[in-house]
Amino acid sequence: MGGVVGVYGFSKEWRMARFIYYSLLALQHRGQENCGIVTFNGETLNYYKGSGFVDQVFSKPETLEKLQGWIGIGSVSSISQENPEKIQPVIVWEPIPIALCYDGKILNFRELAEKEGINCEDEAEFLARLFSVELEKTGKPMEAIASFMGKVKGAYSLIALTGRGEMVVARDRCGVKPLTIGSFGFDYGVVASESCVMDVIGADFKNDIQPGEAYIFDEHSIERRQVLKPNPRFCAFEYVYYARPDSIINGKSIYEVRMKIGEELAKEHRVNGGEVVLGVPETAIPFAVAYSNKTRTPLGIGFVQTGRRVRSAIKPTEFERIVGVQLKLNPIRAAIAGKKVVLVDDSVVRGTTTKNTVNLMRNKMGAKEVHVRIGSPRLIAQCPFGTDVPPKDELIAVHLNAEEVSKVVGADTFHWLSLKGLVRSIGIPRKNLCLGCFTGKYPVLAG
């Protein structure tokens, strides 16, 4: 799981490192383990990478100063790396220097590496090597990426920077992971996992990179080609949980989808006599607003966030999860005490977060009743395409039904959104969505 960005300045006066830095801050929610930036200054690829949050890794102003150049790419990732060289964007220097970052998962990595005679253990490095070899063979970046896309099977939203000053962009034919494009007049072009990046750096959002599409940016032009026949299977979890509410992905506003989810929840699982609706920050806030509007139940502010936004569902240990919960949410007693509370959250993974929250509300804050409503269907399977979902045996929905979960987490009632309700909310036909972690059935991602 990660976020990628590339910014191509059409004048050599531009210094893109700072633009990439702000873009990565805007994508921080997509990966919090490590990050990196690579720039091209006309001579070589300059890079800096490290483990931690973006503002920690790039805390010294001179770090960005040293990253000179009018083209840059960057990445945030949720996958921890012991070897800093493996942090994305990865760089290979031969046969042609390539820096590459991607969000996704390559399904035929080992098989293809063997077939192509590329000896390497790291997926990102393999992709960079493969593209470098293709570029040497063809000499032309569009031909190279077309051949590359014909061979690689999996989910990828990918940006590469060549040591010749070209920026290469590709999205797999199913478009599982998001990728968007924008520009600032004729000054620079931007490609990023989410459109919120365009707003943050002052560019205009243009469109999604379409499934199976590739772009080449060079100093003279932007070339676009539909390399593979599109077969859209957009990740539904982006709408529920991962993407920022100010992003537009696959033509749909995340905010609007989340508001619809709240309305669907209200239709499916209304709490009669609820006295206050509280959304768990931040993702579930639009769900709660819409639920409150629809049911005419007063909306409250139930929590104050302490510290950074910690994505507690994907923290690896029990201790970290509990610390994450406490850091993330401090309930507001006055909003909760003595009330019949409708607690709206985005998802339930292991149930740890929900149990802690319900326990706090009931036993410490004095809630009269706590009714939990979840803005996503039951999470029952892992994601083979690179999204961090814990192993199946740790997912509470695999083992328990709603009534049983309600007992385990200590709620009065508990309900998930239905699959149909989610699809209706997203507004994209079900056949064009990946719903794998909710159904256990995955799209076939051919090359």
Separation between Cα atoms, residue 123 and residue 277, nearest integer Å: 44
Cis peptide leading into residue 281 (ω within 30°): no
The amino acid sitting at 180 is: T
Q: Is 257 exposed, middle or buried (0-12, 13-18, 19+ CB in 10 A)?
A: buried
Binding mask 47-86 for ligand SF4 (x = CB under 6 A): ----------------------------------------
Residue 385 contacts ligand SF4 per CB under 6 A: yes
- How far is residue 334 CA from its own chain's centroid? 34
Q: Is 416 in the site for ligand SF4 (CB under 6 A)?
A: no
Contacts with 228 (C-beta within 8 Å, 6 or more apart), sequence order: 149, 150, 172, 173, 211, 212, 447
When asked if residue 176 is in the footprint of ligand SF4 (CB under 6 A), the reply is yes
Question: Is residue 361 part of the contact set for ligand SF4 (CB under 6 A)?
Answer: no
Distance CA 157, CA 169 (A): 8
Looking at 108-116, 230-238, 260-268, 293-301, which segment touches ligand SF4 (CB under 6 A)? Answer: 230-238
Residues 45, 160, 161, 235: which binds ligand SF4 (CB under 6 A)? 235
The single residue among 38, 288, 435, 445 that binds ligand SF4, judged by CB under 6 A, is 435
- Is the CB of 209 or the CB of 236 nearer to ligand SF4? 236
Q: Which is nearer to ligand SF4, 57 or 381 (CB)?
A: 381
Task: Report the alpha-carbon distance of residue 163 to residue 433 in Å, rounded.
Answer: 36
Q: Spell out the residues 6+ positions from residue 188 whose beta carbon is closer than 8 angstroms to its own.
A: 7, 8, 9, 10, 14, 16, 19, 203
Minimum distance from residue 245 beta carbon to ligand SF4 (Å):
18
Least distance in angstroms from the C-beta of 235 to ligand SF4: 3
Nearer to ligand SF4, 40 or 109 (CB): 109
Work out which of 343, 383, 397, 417 binds ligand SF4, going by CB under 6 A: 383
**Which of 236, 276, 358, 417: binder of ligand SF4 (CB under 6 A)?**
236
Size of the site for ligand SF4 (CB under 6 A): 11
Sign of the dihedral defined by the CA atoms of residues 376, 380, 381, 387, in that order = positive
What separation in angstroms does the CA of 175 have from each of 67, 123, 230, 235, 359? 31, 19, 8, 8, 40
Q: In angstroms, what is the minimal distance from the CB of 419 to ligand SF4?
A: 11
Identity (one letter) of the amino acid at 229? K
- Cα 368 to Cα 336: distance, rounded to the nearest angstrom: 8
- What character string, x for contact with ligand SF4 (CB under 6 A) and - otherwise, covers 183-222? ----------------------------------------
Binding track over 260-299 against ligand SF4, x by CB under 6 A = ----------------------------------------
User: Which one of residues 48, 237, 303, 414 is an interface residue with ligand SF4 (CB under 6 A)?
Assistant: 237
- For position 92 contacting ligand SF4 by CB under 6 A, the verdict is no
Asked if 243 interacts with ligand SF4 (CB under 6 A), we say no
Q: Note whether 436 binds ligand SF4 by CB under 6 A.
A: yes
N-to-C CA span, the chain: 20
Alpha-carbon distance values, 350 to 69, 164, 314, 393, 400 (Å): 45, 47, 10, 9, 11
Say whether residue 314 binds ligand SF4 (CB under 6 A). no
Whole-number CA gyration radius for the chain: 22
- Minimum CB separation of residue 436 from ligand SF4 in Å reads 3
Is residue 107 a contact residue for ligand SF4 (CB under 6 A)? no
CA distance 71 to 430: 38
Q: Which residues bind ligand SF4 (CB under 6 A)?
A: 176, 235-237, 383, 385, 387, 434-437
